[in-house]
Structure 1
């Protein structure tokens, strides 16, 4: 989780807490170290966010502090509703659960007429929910993309040949029939697409490709054909 996102989540956790919450409890929720939370709280306090408390006792957010409200047009609200409905049909369980929380947070913050667009259930994404693959943890894939961490995957290509690849993941594409990891394949020395249903194992490596992600995504986009598709298979 990037620091900016973590700072926002800490404020949200404190805002919703009914009693003082310790740095340890926050760190467990966000899956980071307790020391990181102490640094983040100090950073928030330096930005004049009214957090009170101390180590070992817990922290609270002084009443009256609010994040700037999100304001959307009816069309923007409907776009969010439809986007979250589509997300709930993907194979990524964590994102499916997050889509529900997104709508709950927005519904709690927006004015009545816009809230109606969220709760009315007038927009639907139809079709079956994609099957989550057993060998892929989408949360790990997304984290590797954000952190620019290389992955090792055991893969079966179109010719049914098993192979092990080290890749630099840069994107995930969700289709109705399958999901695809896009990454720089160090074996092929090129951008390749890996269907997740052909991956039998996926492992984090601890090796990184810092500051290369944006360049590789631009290279990927530059290789799209006129239909908007990138045809580089593994």
Structure 2
């Protein structure tokens, strides 16, 4: 988690808390060390965020403190509400959960009159879409792309024939009915698209391809003519 994101999370947790939160509790929730929380709290206090703490009791935020409102038009809020709802159709459970928490955070900092498209929506999205794949955690794939780590996959083709591949993932493509993973395949020495619903197993390898991700994505995009295909 990036530091700016963590600072925002600390503010949100303290705003929502009904009792003081200890550094240990914050550290456990955010999955960081207690000393990191101490540094983050000090940084927030240095920019006049009204956080008060006492040893052995915990931290509290002064009542009435709020983040500056987001300046969004009604159409921008509606676009956001629809976009977050559409994530449920990707079959990516991690993105679906993130969409729910993001929606709450955005509603919490919007002016009251601008929250209606989120709190009382008039625009709805059908839940029909790609099913969540059974053999691969798409969150793990997204992590491998971010960290430029290789993946080991067991893959079955349309006829059911299985192979084991080591791949360098570069993108995830969310189609209406299926999700595909674009990757450089070491077995074929070429870019390949692997349907997530045909991946039987997937694991993160210690091997990496640090510094090559951007170039690989450029080459993949150029090969596809800039339009991701199945």
Identify whether the pair has TM-score above 0.5, normalized to the shorter chain.
Answer: yes
Structure 2: distance between partners of 1:57 and 1:186: 55
Structure 2: distance between partners of 1:40 and 1:209: 32
Contact 1:223 1:230 in 2 (8 A): no
Contact 1:170 1:217 in 2 (8 A): yes
Gaps of 5+ in 1: none
Structure 2: distance between partners of 1:102 and 1:217: 27
Partner of 1:84: 84
Q: What does 1:93-112 correspond to in 2, within 5 Å? A: 93-112=93-112
Secondary structure at the counterpart of residue 124 of structure 2? coil
Q: What does 1:166-185 correspond to in 2, within 5 Å? A: 166-185=166-185
The alignment covers a number of residue pairs equal to 230
Structure 2: distance between partners of 1:75 and 1:174: 24
Comparing 25-34 with 114-123, which one deviates more in the overlay? 25-34
Partner of 1:68: 68
Distance 1:186 1:42, change over 3 A: farther
**RMSD of aligned alpha carbons:** 2.8
Partner of 1:147: 147
Contact 2:70 2:111 in 1 (8 A): no
Distance 1:71 1:166, change over 3 A: same
Partner of 1:229: 228
Cα-to-partner distance string for 1:126-156 (whole Å, 9 max, x where unaligned): 3524321222122222222233332211112
Measured after TM superposition, the shift of residue 195 of structure 1 is 0.8
Contact 1:145 1:171 in 2 (8 A): yes
Measured after TM superposition, the shift of residue 179 of structure 1 is 0.9
Measured after TM superposition, the shift of residue 197 of structure 1 is 0.8
